[in-house]
Structure 1
């Protein structure tokens, strides 16, 4: 089968095509013909060696496709079923093996393309706004990278949950318009700030009658952290769920007291989908919103499997919007890359 491998730690240039034997499904597993693979920052962190990984390895934790064969002891899945996954390994390939208890059944109304685009980022946005900080009527929220995959989905979900004010940050006016279309009430272009640490909270407080926001959803990290913390209202929560600009260094916890008895958390999706039941529940809610038209999935860039290197370059350039996908076998659900 055709695959993409990271041959050693490094930049996108370490990604190369390779031919490997087709894997087989062991007991409790599914062998899936991959239609689409999601491209995510975790793939780039592993490729770069920031997360411990063996080399060479086939990147990719997310995808959607059709079950090719079923391992012994698996109940509930059959050959031909359409599934998605967010924590399987080696998705940059024509075939992937995933654990049956981590497979997400894709409803007939959802294309495999949509499922691959909504799986990881949709579940991430869902746990952030429904569990880490359950957004509700009257809440003022700040969402960084508002035109990114998680940002666009979290904005729409916060709107569905009744948030009063949804402030987002983006890097360009074009991205700001996309964020507004998703439901942002206000957008801030942080590239226009002279000092994010002071200009961001000033702008946020001007939009919230001086109070600040109840919650900040920050997947950017290093460059936005100080400004995010200073944008919180009394007893507000800082939700640091990523570090696309770099990790946040250690800081004095007394800042939380001085800022107004603030809360901070560093959550991970994996702790919010630990059980098959919770994974299925969250996926069902996300897919239901998509089916009803309440949640729009934006696919910003789509590449063939052989162009995985270019997909990583696009993602790391911060110029993408929405989801980045690899089209491995798009004919499996009748959709083709544009």
Structure 2
């Protein structure tokens, strides 16, 4: 037998042997118990898991730190945006408050009634009303706008005072609460005449009432128009206190919070407004108790 034939026979035997071994191996594996392998695998996992967790802890820490940095950066950007929005809203709020205040102030003079032959000019108060020694206020209208001494100053609520000094662009108003201010008035419900005097305080005093007059708390006090400097029928205030011969009046206008006023221009032709002392346009009550300063009928239709 040749050598090549022997080699071929050997190769076939080796192949048959391997096939037999593989067959027995497959048969063995088919009959083997996998529970032992599963237990071995779980034991290996129990050993490896803590190691993997220990090794991954720094990685998780780095990831958490990166996320924290990103969150802080995001919150900082959001905070900057919210601060900008808040500042813008504050500016709009201030603007709205300014407009609301101007609107309220302008409404306070929009309803002021202009008597016949007089023109109402709106003016802005440029100084704080009142002081320790004089209750005056400077307004931003003067002779250039036709303002003259003696012009009444009012709001929609009532009388503020009289213009006493006039410049080209500004005028000074003597308020009814000034100690030098004396306003001829009448009681609205009885038409009894009197004079209000200021005391540089929040209230006015009502003087020169006839003895038979019976003023009541809450009664409206109006300008009488006597002398022609002030128009008749402008509210001055309401009686706040009656105690013996003392009658106190609360002004109709809040004189401490003046922003805009109306100046009544004209209607004083033929009246000397250079001297606005009380005696020039108001006569005190006569001494004779039987006489009357004003004669006519009162608001109830009774002859006085």
TM-score, reference length from structure 1: 0.22
- Which structure has the higher relative contact order (CA within 8 Å, separation 6+)? 1
